Amino acid sequence: MPRGKAIPKRKIKPDPKYKSELLAKFINYIMMSGKKTVAQAIVYGALDILEQKTGKNPLKVFEEAIDKIRPQVEVRSRRVGGANYQVPMPVSGERQNALAFRWIIGASRAKSGKPMMECLATELLDIMEGNGTSIKKKEDVQRMAEANRAFAHFARR
C-alpha cells in the first residue's frame, strides 16, 4: 500500500522538429549527462537516414517501429509461500514505451564500429523488417510469459 499521495506525472514538451511527444521522450532516453543537443542530433540523424532508406515519413516509421516492439505481457517475480514464481502480468502503457525505448537503445549501443545514429537507424529498420536484437528481446519476454502461464492465477492476489 502506497504511503502519502501519488506524485503527478510531468508533461514533457514535444520535440522541436517533429512536434512529437513520443520522440521527445525517446530523445530524453538517448540523452547522457544532460547533453540534449547531442541526443537530438543522434535521433534526428537516424530519422534522416530512415527517410533516405525507406522514402517514407520518418516519424511514421519511428512510431510503427515502437508499436511493433511494445510488449503486452511481462513476467514479474512473486513470492508465494516461500517459493518465487515468475508471474505473467500485463504491461501498462507508460512501461510499454519505457521497455521499448530501453531495448532499442540497448541494441543500438551494443553495435560497435559505426556512429550511434547509424546504429539506431539500422535497428529501427530491422524492427520494421521483423528481425533485430530488440525484436528478439520482445519475443524472449513473451515466450517467458507464455511458459509461466500456469502461475497467472498468482497475479490476482
At 55-94, the pLDDT tens digits run 889 999 999 999 999 999 888 888 888 888 888 888 888 8
Question: Cα 43 to chain center, whole Å?
Answer: 14
Average per-residue pLDDT for the chain: 89
User: Would you state the cell numbers that stand for residue 142, as one nine-digit string?
Assistant: 513473451
- CATH (one of 3.30.9.10, 3.30.930.10, 1.10.455.10, 3.20.20.330) for 21-71+86-156: 1.10.455.10
Mind giving me the DSSP string for 101-125? HHHHHHHHHH--SS-HHHHHHHHHH
pTM of the model: 0.87
Spatial CA neighbour of 134 closest among 123, 118, 143: 123
Tell me what pLDDT residue 122 has: 92
Is the pLDDT at 27 greater than 80? The verdict is yes
